[in-house]
Every structure is written in structure tokens, then in C-alpha cells.
Chain A
Amino acid sequence: GAVVSQHPSWVICKSGTSVKIECRSLDFQATTMFWYRQFPKQSLMLMATSNEGSKATYEQGVEKDKFLINHASLTLSTLTVTSAHPEDSSFYICSARMSGRGNQPQHFGDGTRLSIL
């Protein structure tokens, strides 16, 4: 149980392109989903908290116009990297927490490796 699917797993695209990453909770409903960024040999850095039906909460230093988050249903959140540049190349990981259980742990997707040429 508690499976989180993330798609695509790997993206290579040209500078200036916008890229959408999907995060789905497959066997549970998730009121809250989280988006992280991870650089090589570094820990996860929280970018934003996504709540179903409301605007995402972004961490300090994360550009909300650059990283658009939509959480339209209890099983799907999307992250769109707009006008991506090489410095946006990174490993993006989402996680989801079961609805109605505030202190349940987060379950993570397998990440999306984004490479901007």
C-alpha cells in the first residue's frame, strides 16, 4: 500500500521549454502532497507544499511563477517548470500523505530527473 507514482522518470529538453511532472497517489487519497528538489549527494530540499483545492505554499527562495503547482484532485498534483534553464536541471521528487491523518508519514515517488540542455 501507499504507492506514489511519478511521471516522467526522466526528461531531457531544450532551454526555454516548460516541463510538467505528475505525481499520483495510486492507492490512497492525499490531501497534501509535497515537492522536493535534490542535487547530487545532497539531501532533499522542500520546494512547496501542495494542498488539494488550494494554492500551494512555497518555501523561501522558491519562485512560484517558475515552479507552478496544481493539486486539482486528491490523487494528483503536478509541478510545471516554466521556461526551464540549465540551472533547473535536478532530481525532482514528490511525496504524498494520506488524507485525514495529519501525522502519518510521507510516501515518495521515484523522482524525475530533469536535464535542460
Chain B
Amino acid sequence: QKEVEQDPGPLSVPEGAIVSLNCTYSNSAFQYFMWYRQYSRKGPELLMYTYSSGNKEDGRFTAQVDKSSKYISLFIRDSQPSDSATYLCAIKNQAGTALIFGKGTTLSVSS
């Protein structure tokens, strides 16, 4: 079993839709959870960073962590064409320095 599983999509939604992106992980030692957005031919951009179970909101983005289920989600409200990108989840444990990335989900928002 891979350490982080993420459905690569692609995911296509109309403008204004609510988008749900998800990752599962296998090791309960992971305590830090991040979501990055990557546009084509660009580096990943940090969207959300959290280390506790529950929800964290930032504008149209909400990150949700369920440590008991080893499941993390990113919700995008009122999706816009500019949200079209690849979204990568990343996790890290307490002691480690390296991030473990999911494969990324490609999102396309049509106007």
C-alpha cells in the first residue's frame, strides 16, 4: 500500500461548483498535512497547511483532516476557471523533513 493515495482524475466541473479533492494515507505517524496547487509548467504553490483534525478555512478553500480515518480533503467553493490546475496533497511526520506527495488531481473548471 502506498503511503499516500490520491485519485489523479481528471475532474471536470462547471464554474461555481463545489469541488472535493481527497487523499488517504496509511501511517498514523503523519501529523502535518498540506495542499499545494500546481499550474502547468510551474512549481507547487502552498494553499493550506494544517496539523490537527478538523477544518481549516481560507477564503473559498477548506481543508479537512480526519486522523481517525487517515483521510484528508480540500474543498473549493464557487470554483472558478482560474482554479483549473493540479492539486497535490502532501504529508509529513513529526520527525521527518521530507514531504510525501500524492500523485495529484487534475481539475478543470469550465466557464
- In the complex the two chains form, is B43's CB within 8 Å of A43's CB? no
**B contact residues around A4 at 8 Å (CB):** 43
Q: Which residues of B contact A (CB under 8 A)?
A: 8, 32, 34, 36, 41-46, 49, 51, 88, 92, 94, 97-99, 101-104, 106
- In the complex the two chains form, is A109's CB within 8 Å of B102's CB? no
- In the complex the two chains form, is A105's CB within 8 Å of B43's CB? no
Query: For this complex, into which size category does the number of interface residues on chain A fall?
Result: 20 to 34
Alpha-carbon distance between A111 and B41 when the two chains are bound, in angstroms: 8
- In the complex the two chains form, is A110's CB within 8 Å of B98's CB? no
- In the complex the two chains form, is A43's CB within 8 Å of B51's CB? no
Shortest distance from the beta carbon of A25 to any chain B beta carbon, whole Å: 13
- In the complex the two chains form, is B51's CB within 8 Å of A44's CB? no
The answer to whether A64 has its CB under 8 Å from any CB of chain B is: no
In the complex, what residue of chain A is closest to B39 when comparing beta carbons?
A110
Contact for A111 among B32, B43, B92, B94, CB less than 8 A: B43
Q: Given that A42-B103, A43-B101, A49-B97 are contacting pairs, would A108 and B51 also be in contact in the complex, using a CB cutoff of 8 Å?
A: no
- In the complex the two chains form, is B41's CB within 8 Å of A44's CB? no
Contact for A103 among B41, B51, B102, CB less than 8 A: B51
